[in-house]
Chain A
C-alpha cells in the first residue's frame, strides 16, 4: 500500500435492488496516481460499485450503506448538484457503451471544449488546437471533420474514443473506467491504454479500472481487487495476486484465460457452474458451490478477511491450506 493519503476511500459500500444486496460491504482506498483493477465475472457487482460512487445507479438500484471519501467530502452524503459538479471534472467516467454518455445534441467539438474549459482558461484557438490533439491521441483520423460532427454521425468505436478523449481532457483526479477498451480492436486498445498511463504519469490521476481481461490488468494495475457475488474476496498488489493467488476464485479466474504460452488444443481450465443471480447469494462463502476446496464450514458462515504479510487481504477459510491447493487447478 502506498504511504500517501488516499484520494478516494470507499468503506462498507452496499447497493440493493429491492431487498437483494447486489454490492455487499465493498471497501478500498486509492492513492493519487494509483491504478486499482476491479475484476470478476459479469454479475459480481463491479459496475454497480463504480456507478454507486458517483450516484449514477440505474433503475431500482439504491445505495443502502457506506461512505465514499473524496477530497474531504463524503460523496454518499452530497446533494446531486454538488455531485454533478464533480462528475466529468474531478472524477471522470468511461463506460463500455458510449451511447448514454455523449450528448446527442452537441457536436463532438463542443463536448470536448466543455471538459477542457473546466480546467484552464483557453481562448478559442487554443481550445481548438487542444481538442484536435485529444482526438488524434485516441486514434481518430480526420479530427478536423469530427469536431463539427454529432455523435450519430460516428461509428460506435469512434464514439467510444470520443468519450475517452472527453474523460481524459478534464485531467481528473480520479478516472472510473468500466471496460473502457473491451469493444475496441486490440491495436486501438494498446493506444488507449498508453494514453491512460500518460494521464496518470502527467497529472497523477488515480484510476479504478474495471475489466475482465487479465492481460489489461497485468499491463495497467498496481493493485487488484477480485469481486465475487457482491463482495471483494481478495485484494493485493498485482504481482502477488498473479504469482500466488490465495483465493480459489482468483486462481481459477487466472487459469481459465488462454495464454500465449499454454499448450494449444488441450482442455482449458474452467470454473464449473456460473455466478448466482444478482443478490441471490448462497449462504456462507458465496463461492462455495463452485469451489473445489469447499467443506461444510465454508457453507456455514461468510469467511472473515485475513491480512497476509504482503499487504494482501483474502476472504477464504482455506487460504493457507497449501496441501489442498493442488486441487484448485
Chain B
C-alpha cells in the first residue's frame, strides 16, 4: 500500500505540543524548573499512514505518544484528531473522541489483567462505550480473536496461559475493538524474541492493509521502523530534528544525528559492516532537565559551530519532502 496523497485532510495534526514536568525539591518543594520531555512538536499524519517515531531513551518519543491520547497532560499545543482538538476536551467529550485512537504498549504482560478472561478484556472497551453486549459482543470478540490469529475458544482463558507473542496479539485485538482510525504502538515488539517479532510485525502490516488503520509506530529500532513505516520522524531531547519519507531518510539523512543513528545500526552482513565508515558519537545524551543551549545536539555533534551553541534551529522544509532542524543541513 502506498502512502495516501498528502492533499487529503490529515487524520492527526499536532501543533507546537509541549509536555513539561515540573522539577520539585523536597516534599512540599516549589517547582525548580521543568523537564521539557516534549518541547514544541508539530507533525501531521494521513489516514492509513504509518509514521515511525525514533530516538534514544529520554528523547520524549513515548511521552509524545502518551500526550496524544492525554495519558499524560500536555502543557500546551493542539492535538487535532479528525479535526477535533483533544487537548481542549474534558470528561465525556474526551472519552468519546479518544475512541478513535488506541494504544499498544511494549509489555504485553503488564497490559492485560491476569484475573480477567480474554473475552472480557477484549470486549471491555465495547461494553464500556455501550457498543455491543450479549451475543453481539461474543461474536465481535470471536471476530477480533480471529483477526489477530487466535481461536474463538481462547476467549474463556486467562492471560497467564499465553506466551508473550500471543499476549501481544491479544493487546492488539483489544486496541482494534473500537475500530480506531489511529493506533499508537509504543515499542510493540521490543520485548519479543526474533521469531515472534516477525510474526507480530507481519500481523500489524496485514491489519493495516485490511482495515486502513493509521499507525504511529514508536521504537528505538531503526531497522524495524524502516520495515513498517511510510514516513519517519527522528526525535532528540524533546524535539523533532528530522522528518522525511522513509526512503529519503535512509538514502539521504540530513541531520547529523540521523546520520549517526543510521550509521550506528550494525548491519547483519560481516563484509558490509566492517567496510563501512561509521560516525561514533562521544558522550551521553544530556538530561532533558538541563538541555544544552542552542541546538540541543551540539554537545555531541561532530559538525557543531558557534551558531549551533546559541541559536535553536527550526524544522524547515527541504525540496525533497523532508524537514530538518539543523543550521548546517543543505
Chain A residues engaging chain B, CB cutoff 8 angstroms:
41-42, 139-141, 157, 185-191, 193-194, 212-219, 221, 238-239, 242, 252-254, 256-260, 262, 264-265, 267-271, 274-275
Contact = CB atoms under 8 A, between A and B. Distances in A.
Q: Which 6 A-B pairs have the closest CB atoms?
A: A215-B266, A214-B268, A185-B56, A271-B195, A270-B198, A268-B198
22 contacts: A41-B195, A139-B284, A141-B284, A185-B220, A186-B56, A187-B264, A189-B264, A190-B266, A212-B194, A214-B268, A215-B223, A219-B270, A219-B273, A219-B274, A239-B270, A254-B268, A257-B223, A259-B268, A260-B250, A262-B227, A265-B205, A274-B195
Given A215-B267, A238-B270, A239-B271, A268 B193 contact: no
A76 B278 CA distance: 41
B131 interface: no
B267 A260 contact: yes
A149 B274 CA distance: 38
B282 interface: yes
A267 B274 CA distance: 28
A191 B278 CA distance: 11
Contacts of B56: 185-188
A242 B266 contact: no
A268 B268 contact: no
Interface string B180-195: 0000000000000111
Contacts of A274: 163, 165, 193, 195-196
A88 to B, nearest CB: 25
A254 B271 CA distance: 15
Given A141-B283, A190-B280, A258 B265 contact: no
A191 B283 CA distance: 9
A242 B268 contact: yes
B281 A191 contact: yes
A187 B226 contact: no
Interface in B181-239: 193-199, 201-202, 205-206, 220, 222-224, 226-229
A216 B270 CA distance: 9
A157 B56 CA distance: 12
Contacts of A275: 193
A262 to B, nearest CB: 7
A265 B201 CA distance: 9
B284 A140 contact: yes
B109 to A, nearest CB: 15
A264 B268 contact: no
B193 A185 contact: no
Contacts of A185: 56-57, 220, 285
Nearest to A212: B194
Given A41-B193, A185-B57, A265 B227 contact: yes
B1 interface: yes
B153 interface: no
Q: Which of B1, B265, B271, B284 has the largest count of A CB atoms less than 10 A from its CB?
A: B284
B268 A218 contact: yes
A258 B264 contact: no
A191 B264 CA distance: 9
A198 to B, nearest CB: 12
Nearest to B57: A185
A141 B282 CA distance: 10
Contacts of B220: 185-186
B97 interface: no
A18 to B, nearest CB: 23
B260 interface: yes
A260 B265 CA distance: 9
A264 B226 contact: yes
B269 interface: yes
B38 interface: no
Nearest to B163: A274
Given A258-B223, A264-B229, A139 B282 contact: yes
A249 to B, nearest CB: 10
A187 B224 contact: no
B176 interface: no
Nearest to B287: A141
Contacts of B226: 258, 260, 264
Nearest to B223: A258
Contacts of A256: 194-195, 197-198
B228 A265 contact: yes
Nearest to B270: A218
Contacts of B163: 274
A264 B227 contact: yes
B267 A268 contact: no
Q: Which of B205, B246, B266 has the largest count of A CB atoms less than 10 A from its CB?
A: B266
Given A139-B283, A219-B274, A239-B271, A42 B228 contact: no
Contacts of B264: 186-187, 189-190
A252 B199 CA distance: 13
Contact of B281 (A42, A157, A187, A252): A187
A213 B220 CA distance: 14
Given A213-B266, A215-B266, A259-B268, A267 B195 contact: no
Given A256-B198, A268-B198, 10 more contacts: A139-B284, A185-B56, A186-B265, A187-B260, A187-B261, A215-B273, A218-B274, A258-B201, A260-B265, A274-B193
